[in-house]
């Protein structure tokens, strides 16, 4: 276990007293590590840090599992003095301030998109146990549910569900259905826009004869807002007063922002977290239930995924529909191979694959990332790290792409700033 943690965190951490902490000394009993992603200048991070300190102190004093948990601070601070002052408030160690490369790897590996974020991972494997540790701290202040591992959807959602005619049905009615778990709120403009599209998609899928249901998990700020918003929806909802169940569903899927649409198969296993993108990209629902595709054509609706981790983007000289197909066929086998490798390890793929033609959005992306006008152009863009990797060659072959991907994953490529 300690060897794995050294690979994940490095050999040394640092504590509030500026002393080095040997990662291998964290303890043989350690089974869970909470990665706390935050920044001293962020007010919600400061507020959450106070709650986390109370939680941590109580857990270490009273829990029978006190030796099985450690927390590590992963900072996005740019100023060392601010970082050091914030660390003074923490009873746990932190990644060294100067180890920015390791920090970015962790941000990408665990797909952190907002702060504060607390991700609990298995100390022996690094696999995510719970993405939304903020809700653990709020909902289980005594740590009684340690280690907060995922439970089956059917167990977490169990109970009565509402229809907008005020009738109820039991969650067992979802058995044998594809299910969309829809995290949304009336106060959120992108949520309302997606809901209008989703209503049509829902009806299209239902009319095709497929067993499909959606469960709305509200983030509204009042029951009145919930009722108003839910009146527009033809599907089911977790009752608004059942805050505990709504919170457990948020925790189960590590929701970091809304709108989010999670798609589940008939057994309750996740198909994709990108239901929002899929619905917007496929209004006729031809690709339902939207299993992840190895290669995507870059569009306005899926460009948001560029910010969720490193992405390979192959820019080609294509303006008409269908002209991107040769480029997709070129990189698809490499993408499929990588997806299969990480699926076998029950991990998310570390790289998304896109092809991009010639349009205004692609031009904006080239301008933003300061890429040359060449086409074809093979790139890997890491927006969160503000880094790019460019392979500008006359001919792009599968061997060139595979070498490029392999070198990136092996950290052999030198990044250029975005």
82 CB burial (10 A radius; 0-12, 13-18, 19+): middle
**pLDDT value at position 392?**
82
Round to whole Å and give the CA distance between 161 and 236. Answer: 6
Round to whole Å and give the CA distance between 339 and 165. Answer: 43
- One DSSP character per residue, 221-248 reads SSHHHHHHHHTT-SSEE--TT-HHHHHH
Round to whole Å and give the CA distance between 212 and 286. Answer: 14
Query: Which H or E run includes 314?
Result: strand 311-315
**pLDDT value at position 319?**
67
- How much of the chain is in helix, strand and coil states, percent to nearest 5? 40, 20, 40
Residue 35: closest CA among 108, 98, 101, 143: 108
Round to whole Å and give the CA distance between 245 and 162. Answer: 13
Residue 126 region, left (φ>0) first, then alpha (ψ -120 to 50), else beta? left
Domains annotated for the chain, with CATH where assigned, are 1-139 (3.40.30.10), 153-281 (3.40.30.10), 296-417 (3.40.30.10)
**pLDDT value at position 18?**
82
Q: What is the pTM of this model?
A: 0.83
316 — phi, psi (to 5°)? -135, 165
* Tokens encoding 415: 């990044």
Tokens 């959602």: give the residue. Answer: 157
What is the β-pairing status of strands 69-75 and 32-38? parallel
Round to whole Å and give the CA distance between 240 and 226. Answer: 7
- One DSSP character per residue, 401-417 reads HHHHHHHHHTT-SPPEE
* Tokens encoding 99: 């180890």
Q: Mean pLDDT of successive 10-residue segments in the chain (418 residues)?
A: 82 90 86 97 96 97 96 96 96 95 89 92 92 94 94 96 93 97 97 97 97 98 96 97 95 92 96 93 95 92 88 86 86 96 87 93 93 91 91 91 96 92
> How far are the Cα atoms of 84, 196, 272, 357 from residue 276, in angstroms, in the given order?
39, 12, 10, 23
**pLDDT value at position 62?**
96
Residue 158 contacts residue 175 (beta carbons within 8 Å): no
DSSP E strand stretches across 25-130 = 32-38, 69-75, 117-122, 128-130
The DSSP 8-state label assigned to residue 182 in this structure reads: E
**pLDDT value at position 320?**
65
Residue 312 contacts residue 352 (beta carbons within 8 Å): yes
**Angle ∠(70,22,17) on CA atoms, nearest 5:** 80
Residue 333 contacts residue 398 (beta carbons within 8 Å): yes
């Amino acid at each position: 276990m300690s060897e794995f943690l050294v690979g994940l965190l490095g050999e040394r951490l640092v504590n509030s007293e500026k002393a080095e902490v040997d990662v291998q000394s964290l303890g043989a009993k350690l089974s869970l590590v909470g990665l706390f992603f935050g920044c001293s200048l962020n007010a919600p991070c400061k507020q959450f840090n106070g709650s986390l300190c109370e939680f941590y102190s109580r857990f270490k004093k009273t829990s029978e599992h006190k030796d099985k948990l450690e927390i590590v601070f992963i900072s996005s601070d740019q100023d060392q003095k601010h970082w050091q002052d914030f660390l003074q408030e923490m009873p746990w160690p932190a990644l060294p301030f100067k180890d920015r490369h390791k920090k970015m790897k962790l941000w990408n590996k665990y797909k952190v998109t907002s702060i504060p974020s607390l991700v609990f991972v298995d100390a022996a494997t690094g696999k995510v146990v719970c993405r939304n540790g903020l809700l653990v701290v709020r909902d289980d202040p005594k740590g009684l549910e340690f280690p907060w591992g995922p439970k089956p959807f059917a167990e977490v959602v169990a109970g009565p569900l509402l229809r907008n005619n005020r009738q109820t049905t039991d969650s067992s009615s979802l058995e044998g259905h594809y299910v969309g778990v829809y995290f949304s709120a009336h106060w959120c403009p992108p949520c309302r826009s997606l809901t209008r599209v989703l209503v049509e998609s829902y009806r299209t899928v239902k009319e095709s004869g497929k067993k499909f249901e959606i469960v709305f998990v509200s983030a509204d700020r009042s029951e009145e807002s919930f009722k108003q918003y839910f009146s527009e929806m033809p599907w089911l909802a977790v009752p608004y007063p059942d805050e505990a169940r709504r919170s457990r569903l948020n925790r189960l899927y590590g929701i970091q922002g809304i709108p989010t649409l999670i798609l589940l198969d008939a057994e309750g296993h996740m198909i994709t977290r990108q239901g929002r993108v899929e619905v917007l990209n496929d209004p006729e629902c031809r690709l339902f239930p939207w299993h992840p595709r190895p290669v995507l054509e870059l569009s306005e609706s899926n460009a948001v995924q560029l910010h969720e981790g490193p992405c390979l983007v192959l820019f080609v000289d294509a303006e008409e529909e269908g002209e991107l197909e040769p480029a997709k066929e070129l990189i698809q086998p490499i993408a499929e191979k990588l997806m299969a490798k990480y699926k076998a390890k029950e991990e998310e793929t570390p790289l998304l694959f896109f092809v991009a033609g010639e349009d205004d959005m692609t031009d904006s992306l080239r301008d933003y990332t300061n890429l040359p006008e060449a086409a074809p152009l093979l790139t890997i863009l890491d927006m969160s790290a503000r880094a790019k990797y460019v392979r500008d060659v006359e001919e792009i072959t599968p061997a060139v792409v595979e070498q490029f991907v392999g070198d990136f994953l092996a950290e052999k490529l030198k990044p250029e700033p975005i």
